[in-house]
Amino acid sequence: MSDARTPAQIEADIVRRREQLAVTLDEIGVRVHPRTIVGDAKAKVASTIDETAGRAFVAVNRAVTDVKSRFVSHDGTPRLERVLPVALVAVAVIGLITVSGRKRED
């Protein structure tokens, strides 16, 4: 048994390898094309923004849920022992701001 290839087999192998090389070069050309690079960068930035926005949403949602649980009981009724002091402080702060503003106008 001989491992010798015929000239036709060698030529067919060369043609096949040239075609593979052409495909590889085309792929490299697409990868290094400025539009591809910019598109990839835009996609990465958009993905990062989406991920960051998602994390922010989760954090805000968690904070709102935590605050709500402090002022509203499980059955949905307000916890007056916590709501009233906060409401009184808010009214006092608004009153001080109003009085302070009036004094500056005089």
CA–CA separation, 8 vs 43, rounded Å?
Answer: 47
The string of pLDDT tens digits covering residues 7-50 is: 999 999 999 999 999 999 999 999 999 999 999 999 999 999 99
| Structural contact between residues 36 and 29, judged by C-beta atoms closer than 8 angstroms | no
Does the pLDDT value for residue 106 go beyond 70? no
pLDDT recorded at residue 8: 94
| Structural contact between residues 67 and 60, judged by C-beta atoms closer than 8 angstroms | no
Q: 76: which 2 tokens? A: 């949905």
Model pTM score: 0.47
| Structural contact between residues 79 and 72, judged by C-beta atoms closer than 8 angstroms | yes
Residue 83: count of CB within 10 angstroms of its CB: 13
| Structural contact between residues 70 and 82, judged by C-beta atoms closer than 8 angstroms | yes
Mean pLDDT over 80-103 rounds to 90
Mean pLDDT of the chain: 91
Sign of the dihedral through C-alpha 64, 70, 76, 81? negative
| Structural contact between residues 70 and 79, judged by C-beta atoms closer than 8 angstroms | yes
| Structural contact between residues 70 and 85, judged by C-beta atoms closer than 8 angstroms | no
